[in-house]
Structure formats: structure tokens, C-alpha cells
Amino acid sequence: MILKLIAALTLGGSLAAEAQRMRAPVVHDPSTVVKERSDSWCFATGHGVSMLKQDGREWGFGGTVFPRGKWPAWHKEAVPENKGHLWAPDVIELGDRWCVYYSVSTFGKNTSAIGMASRKKLGPGTEKEPWEDHGMIISSKSGDRFNAIDPAVILDGRKLWMSFGSYWDGIMLIELDPKTGLRKDADEKPIRLADAQDIEAPFIHKEGSWYYLFVNWGKCCRGADSTYEIRVGRSRKITGPYEDREGNPMVSGGGTLVLGSEGRFIGPGHASILAKGSRQWLVHHYYDGEDRGLSKLRLVTLKWEDEWPVVED
């Protein structure tokens, strides 16, 4: 079943804009959209990690990973200033369970950690089957040259990878164990993939023989004053090096613009790709310039021209 929101966004013209205004849920840092049976799910920043569910009609609140006040004890130990507001999750199905990766941090600091929790099903049943937390995947502290937030996971053949990062020395990559979902080698130094003045929110997608690294440039979380925009580079190897369309290395500030602010759709960010058959959509949030700068979910058609991603409204 094609998502009703997606259908609305492919109508074109003012009708699509009106459909977007009416149906777009308020959400920040949406995860990859996944399906379980006939339902679609998306995770997002919120207390205890927010869950959104779409049953073929409209998106609605689908619960939280951690009930309010019942966050794992290690959160407070690793990031004392965090109050249970967990950021920028991503989700992937590994074997017979769903694994959700999330950020524990505070704004403007790199005393941060990425954790992972799992459950066999996404649907109702939290009381019978609560999410099991598996602890930290990686952490950072003052003095480190990376920030352990904004995880994005990708299963590439038999290997599982997680990109992450925000500001400092930019976007990093580590390998995970596909059986456990945890870090494969804690002593292995993260691989640096990209850097720019204001960079975060990575997402890696494989299309054909290329790996595409989507990132955000600019500042988020300022409503209609946000300057977020989505940039991309590509590489023949998941570990890089990534270059933009002009051949500029992403580790040196390269990045081709994919989607910037336009009209009411301000500061698009935190990209992922939803595929259904031969069609693809770029999933992201934006700040609604006609609705108090609220952060909302949006999907736009994604196509490939000369082996580079291009969005269509």
C-alpha cells in the first residue's frame, strides 16, 4: 500500500502543498521509514525516542521507546545534563528484531553517547515486550574531536556500518557486528568521512556501484530562521573517500546541494531514502514558514540523473 502522505506529495501544484500542510506530522530528525506488515514506522527526536505510526492513512503518535522517567541508568552517568530527551534515532531490522540507535547529548556539547535498544515487533505491546536497551555503542567527551550523535545504520552485504557525527571534525564511520548490532571493535578508530563548518546528520545510501553520503550543512533548531540544507557526495567504497559532483573531497568541505530552503519549506534536514519498487522518496524534516516554524515530516520524489540524486516536488 502506497503511503497516503507520499501520494499527496506526488499530486503536484497547490493541491500537493495543501495536502502537505494538512497531513504533515510535527517531527524532528526523522529516522529511516520502515514497514512492518501493513504499517509504516518512523522514529524521531523526543523524550524517550518518539515513535510515529502510519496505518495506510495518516501519521500518528505510536508511543516511545522508553517510558518517561524510565530511561537507562547509563544515560545519566555518561551525559549528566541529559534529561531524557533523546535525539536523531535510526532503525534497522536485524534478524528477528528491530534495532533503534539513538543519541544522548546536550545542545552545543560533545559529551554525548549513542545507544541501541531492540524489540521483536514495532506494533502495540510495550507492556508485554518492552524495548531492551543494549547500552552504549560509542561515546565522546570534551577533548575528543568528534561528537557521538546522529547515528545512521546501513547493512552492506554481510557488514553493518554506522555513520554519525556533528560539528568538531565532522562525520565518522564505525563498523558494527551484524549479529549483535553492537560495535565490532571498540579499539578501532572511527573513519572520518566528511567535514565542513556546520555539518551533521549523515546518511549513507548505496545506488548501483556508488555509495552516497548525505549530510546537513547549516544550523538547525531555530524554526523559520534555520539554515539547514542537504548536501551529498559519493564514493566507490563505503569507507570513502567521498567527493561531490565537482570532484571536491567531502573531508575538505565538499558537498553538492540536494535540497535547500524554498518557500514555506525551510531548513530541510536529516535525510533518508524510502524505496518502493522502482520509486524512491527523500525523507526529511523541514521548518514550516507558514506555521510558526514547526518542524514537520516531508517526502519528495527522488530520481537519479547522471548517477546523482535529484529531487522533484
C-alpha closest to that of 282 among 243, 310, 256, 263: 310
Give the pLDDT confidence score for residue 126 in this predicted structure: 66
Give the pLDDT confidence score for residue 180 in this predicted structure: 96
133 is catalytic: no
Pairing of strands 256-259, 265-276: unpaired
3-class secondary-structure state, position 16: helix
Q: What is the mean pLDDT of residues 131-153?
A: 94
136 secondary structure, DSSP code: E
Calculate the dihedral angle through the C-alpha atoms of 118, 124, 128, 131, rounding to the nearest 10 degrees.
20
- The dihedral sign for the CA sequence 268, 270, 276, 280: positive
Q: Write down the pTM of the prediction.
A: 0.91
**Residue 20: is its pLDDT beyond 60?**
no
Given 29, 243, 244, 288, the catalytic residue: 29
Query: pLDDT by residue (tens digit) across 236-293?
Result: 999 999 999 999 999 999 999 999 999 999 999 999 999 988 899 999 999 999 999 9
Query: pLDDT by residue (tens digit) across 56-98?
Result: 778 888 899 999 889 999 999 999 999 999 999 999 999 999 9
250 secondary structure, DSSP code: G
Cα 313 from Cα 275, distance rounded (Å): 16
Query: pLDDT by residue (tens digit) across 36-50?
Result: 988 999 999 999 999
Give the pLDDT confidence score for residue 55 in this predicted structure: 79
C-alpha closest to that of 118 among 57, 179, 170: 179
200 is catalytic: yes
Given 90, 133, 150, 200, the catalytic residue: 200
Query: pLDDT by residue (tens digit) across 168-212?
Result: 899 999 999 999 999 999 989 999 999 999 999 999 999 999 999
Could you tell me if 178 and 131 are in contact, meaning their C-beta atoms sit under 8 angstroms apart?
Answer: no
Could you tell me if 58 and 5 are in contact, meaning their C-beta atoms sit under 8 angstroms apart?
Answer: yes
